[in-house]
Structure 1
Amino acid sequence: MQSKFLLSVFLVCLCFMMNINSSYARDDGYANERDTLSVTLKEAEDLFIKNNLSLIASRYSIDQAKAQVITARLFENPQLGYETGLYNTGTKKFFDMSKENGQRAANISQLFQTAGKRNKNIQLAKINVQQAEYQFFDLLRTLKYTLRTDFYKIYYQEQSAKVYAKEISSLSKTLSGFQQQYAKENIALKEVLRIQSQLYTLQSELNELKDGIDDVQSEFKLLIRTDAKKYIVPRLEFNLDGKNVLQQVTYKNLLDSAYNNRYDLKVAHSAVDYSKLNLRLQKSMAMPDVTLSVTYDKQGSYIRHYTGLGISIPLPLFNRNQGNIRQAKIAIDADQLALTQQEEQIQSDLDNSYQSADRLERLYNSFDPAFKTDFNHLIEEVFKNYQKHNISLLEFLDFYDSYKTNTLQLNNLQLNRISSLEQLNYITGTQFFNQ
C-alpha cells in the first residue's frame, strides 16, 4: 500500500516537473526568437544622447529661456490715441468732420523705464537661460548614471542567469537518468524527488532573476529609445580585475570636481545670483518711470490747432514696492541657505560613497584571480564523481548549491564594485572611472 502511494506521488511530481520543463522550453524558445541588440557602453551612450526624449524636451526649455531674453530686450510700445467730436452743439450734427467746424485730436506717448530696469530684466533673463542649460546638463548626468548602472546590471545578472541555466541543464540530465534508474528499481523514489525539488527551486529562482532583468531591460531601452521587442546584450570592454582604481585620484580632487562640475550646484549658485539681481530690480521698481507725449487738438483747446508736449511721472508716495523688496531680501537668504545645504550634502554623499567604493575594491582584490576558474573546474569534477558514485546525492547537491551561491556572490560583488565607482562619477559630475 505504501509503495503504491509513493508511486502515485512520484507520477504526480513527474508530470508537474514535465510541465515546468516544457514551460521553460517555450520561454527559452521565445527568448531565442527575439531580436537582440548587442551594444557596448559607448554605443549605448551615443544612442542615448541622440534619441532620449527627456533630453530633447530639456533642450526645448533652453530655447524657451533664450526667447525670454529677446522679449526682455524689447522696448515698450508707444501709445497712439485719436479723438473726434461726438456731437457738435453749434451745427447740431453728430460726428461733424467738416473742415471749419469739425473737431479732431490725437496724441502719441512713449514710456521710458528708469533706474536700469530694462538692463536688469535682460540680465535676469540671461540667468534663466544659464539655469536652463545647467538643468539640462544635470538631467544628462542623472540619466547617464541610470544608463550606465543599468548596462552593468543587465550584464552581470545575465552572467548569473547563465549559471542557473547551466545548473538546470545539468540537473535535468541527472533527473532523466534517475528516472530511468528508478524505473529499473535501482534507486529509491526519495532520490528522484530530491533532484526534482532542487530543479524546481532553481527554475523558480531563475524566473525571478529574469523578471528583474526584464525590468532593467525595459528602463534601458527607454533611455536609448530602441524597439521594445529587442533584447539588449551588453558587451563589456574593460576588466577591473586586480586594479586599484581609487588610487588614480585623490579624495580632495574628487571633492573639488564635485564643487566645480556639479550642475545642480551651479543651479543653486545661479539662484543666489538671480535673487541678488532681483533685489536690485525690485529697488529700481520703486523709482517712477517717465512717459513723454505729444498732443494735437484742432479746436478743443484755448487756441485752434493746438500742439503740446507733455511729461508724466507717478509720485511714489504710497507704493514704493516695499513688499517685493522685502520678499527679494528673504529670497537671497533662503537661496544662500539652500546652497550651503547642498554643498554639505555633496560632501557627505562623496565621503559615504568613497568609503563604500574603497571597501568593495579591497574585498574584490582580495579574491584569488584563479578562484573562479578553479571553482568551475571543481564543479565539473564533482559531477563526474557523482556519476561514478564516488560521492553521495546530498554531497553532490551541496557542491552544486555552493557553486551557485559563490558564483552569484562574485557577480554581485563585481556589479556592486562598478556601481560604487559609477556613484562616485555621479556625485563628482566627472567620468573619473570606467571610461
Structure 2
Amino acid sequence: MQLKFVRPIFLINLCLFSSIGLLKAQDGVRDTLRIDIKQAEELFIKNNLSLIASKYNIDNAKAQVITARLFDNPQVGFENVLYNPDTKKFLDMSKDGGQQAANISQLFQTAGKRNKNIQLAKIGVKQAEYQFFDMLRTLKYTLRTDFYKIYFQEQSAKVYAKEINSLAKTLVGFQQQYAKDNIALKEVLRIQSQLYTLQSELNDLKDGIDDVQSEFKLLIRTDARKYIIPTLDFNLDGKSVLQQVTYTNLLDSAYTNRYDLKVSQSAVDYSNLNLRLQKAMVVPDITMSVTYDKQGSYIKKYTGLGISIPIPLFNRNQGNIKQAKIAIDANKLAVTQQQEQIQSDLDNSYQSADRLERLYNSFDPKFKTDFNHLIEEVYKNYQKHNISLLEFLDFYDSYKTNTIQLNNLQLNRISSLEQLNYITGTHFFNK
C-alpha cells in the first residue's frame, strides 16, 4: 500500500520544490531603490546622457553665431622679381635693380548679408533649444509612464505571489491527505496544475517588469543591479481630474507649449529670412584694395587704390531664391499639418482619458477591500470543507483576474493623463 504513494508524492514534492526554488531565484536578494516620481525626475534631469548630449547641440549652435559675426579676413599679396636680366640675378632684392610689388584687399559685404547670416544663426540656436526641450518632454513622458507601469505591475505581482503561496500550502495539505488515501490524485494534480499556471503567468509578468525596470534605470542612470520600488503619494479614487481644465485650454496650451511645433514655426521664420538673404546675394559685394609697385609701373614707387565689383549679368542667384520660396511654402504646410495632428491626438487622448475616468469612478471604493475580505473567508470555508475544490479555485481565479484588471485600469487611467500632459506640453495632471 505504501509503495503506490511513494512515486506520486515524490514527483509532486519535486515539482513543488522546483517551483518554489524558481520563485526564490526570481526574487533573489538585490539592492533596492525606493523612489517617488519627484525624486525620479530630479535624477533624470541631473544624469540622463541624452539630455546632456543635446545640450552640446545648443552650444554648437551658439558657436555658429560667433562665426556669423566675424568679418572676412583681408587678403595680402607680395611679389618679387624672379630673375633680373639686367643684373643677371635671381630674386634681386637690391635697391636699384630689385622689383617688388605688394597689395592688400578687403571684401565688404553689402545689402546686410552679414546681419542676415547672424539672424539665421540665432534662429538655429532657438531651434537647438526647442529640440532640447522637446526631447525633455518625450523622455520625461517615458520616465513617468515607466514609473507607474512598474508600480502597478508590482501590485499585480503581489497578487500572484499571495495566491501562489496560498496554493503551495494547500498543495502540501493535499499531499498529506493523498498519502492517507483520503483524496484522489486528480485533486492533487488540479491544485498543482493551477499552481504551475500562476507561476508561469507571474514569470511572464516579471519579465515585463524587468524590461521596464531596465529602461527606467537607463533614464535616471542608476546601478543596473538595483531594483526600483516606486512609491506613490497621491490617490485618484473618486476624483474627476479632467474637470480641472477645459478642452479649449488644453488645445491652446498645446499650440503654445509644444516645442516640436515651435521648431516647425521657427523653420518658417528661418525660410523667410533665408529668402531675404538669397535676394541680397544678388547685390554685388565690394572688394577694396591698395597696391604698391616699386618700379614695374609707369612711375617708380607706384601706389594705387582699387575697387572691384562683380557684375550680376548671368548669375543673379535665381535657383537659390526659388528654392527659398519653395521652402517657405513647404514649412508653412508642415506647421498646419502638425497643428492638425496635435488637435487629432488631443481629441483622441481626451476621449480615452474621459472614458477611463468614468469607468474607474463607477467602481465602488469598497470593492477592493470587500473582495480581499471575501477571498479570505473563501479560504477559511474551503479549509472547513464548506465549499468544493472547484468553487475554491474559481473564487481564487476570479480574485486574481479582478484585482489585476483593477490595477491595469488604474495604470491605464494614469497613463491617459500622462498622455494628455505629453500632448499639451504641460503638467496639468499628476503634478
> What TM bracket, shorter-length normalisation?
over 0.9
Q: Deviations over 1:217-252 (max 9, x none)?
A: 000000000000001010101000000000000000
Which residue in the other structure is 1:253 paired with?
249
What residue is the counterpart of 1:199 in the other structure? 195
Q: CA deviation at 1:20?
A: 2.0
CA contact (8 A) 1:10 1:189 kept: no
Does the residue aligned with 1:81 lie in a helix, a strand or coil? strand
Aligned partner letter, 2:142: T
1:140 aligns with 2:136: yes
Deviation of residue 7 (structure 1)? 7.3
Equivalent of 2:333, from 337, 342, 355? 337
Distance between the aligned counterparts of 1:289 and 1:374, measured in 2?
85
Name 2:404's counterpart in structure 1. Answer: 408
Corresponding residue to 2:154 among 140, 158, 161: 158
Match of 2:91 in 1: 95
1:272 to 268, 272, 295: 268
* Unmatched tracts of structure 1, length 5 or more: none
User: SS of the residue aligned with 1:236?
Assistant: coil
Letter of the 1:41 counterpart: I
Secondary structure in 2 aligned to 1:120? helix
After superposition, where does 1:114-133 map in structure 2 within 5 Å? 114-133=110-129
Distance in 2 separating the partners of 1:117 and 1:301: 37
Measured after TM superposition, the shift of residue 13 of structure 1 is: 4.5
Query: Any conservation in 1 of the 2:288–2:306 contact (CA below 8 Å)?
Result: yes
Tell me the residue number matched to 1:85.
81
Aligned mates of 2:221, 2:403 — CA distance in 1: 33
Which residue identity lines up with residue 301 of structure 2 in the other structure? H
**Native 8 Å contact 2:51 2:136 kept in 1:** yes
Look up the SS of the partner of 1:37 in the other structure. Answer: strand
Aligned residue number for residue 391 of structure 1:
387
Match in the other structure for 2:418: 422
The correspondence for 1:360, drawn from 356, 360, 365, is 356
Q: Secondary structure at the match of 1:76?
A: coil
Alpha-carbon deviations, 1:278-318, whole Å to 9, x = none? 01101111111000000000001110000000000111111
SS in structure 1 of the partner of residue 272 of structure 2:
helix
Q: Conserved in 1, the CA contact under 8 Å of 2:16 and 2:168?
A: no
Q: Deviations over 1:9-54 (max 9, x none)?
A: 66435423332222222332x1xx2111111100000000000000
Residue 19 of structure 2 is matched in structure 1 by 20
C-alpha distance after superposition, 1:84-135 (max 9, x if no partner): 0000011111111000110011000000000110000000000000000000
Partner in structure 1 of residue 168 of structure 2 = 172
C-alpha deviation, 1:321, in angstroms:
0.8
**Cα RMSD after superposing both structures:** 1.3
**Rounded Cα–Cα distance in structure 2 between residues aligned with 1:335 and 1:394:** 66
Given that residues 87 and 95 in structure 1 are in contact (C-alpha distance below 8 angstroms), is that contact kept between their aligned partners in structure 2? yes
Structure 2 unaligned spans of 5+? none
88-97 or 123-132, which deviates more: 88-97
The residue type equivalent to 2:256 in the other structure is N
Q: Equivalents in 1 of 2:163, 2:76: separation in Å? A: 87
Contact 1:10 1:193 in 2 (8 A): no
Task: Name the SS of the counterpart of 1:336 in structure 2.
Answer: helix
Match of 2:40 in 1: 44
Q: Does 2:209 align with 1:221?
A: no
2:355 partner amino acid: R
Equivalent pairs, count: 430
The aligned runs of 1:59-78 (5 Å cut-off) are 59-78=55-74
Report Cα offsets for 1:297-343 as digits up to 9, x if no partner.
00011100000000001111111111111111111111111110000
- Preserved CA contact (<8 Å) 1:110 1:292: yes
Question: Which of 290, 294, 316 lines up with 1:320 in the alignment?
Answer: 316
Whole-Å Cα distance in 2 between the matches of residues 396 and 66 of structure 1? 70
Q: Structure 1 stretches (4+) deviating beyond 2 angstroms? A: 6-18, 25-28
Give the Cα separation in 1 of the matches to 2:211 and 2:292. Answer: 76
Distance of 2:322 and 2:199 partners within structure 1:
67
Q: Secondary structure at the match of 2:183?
A: coil
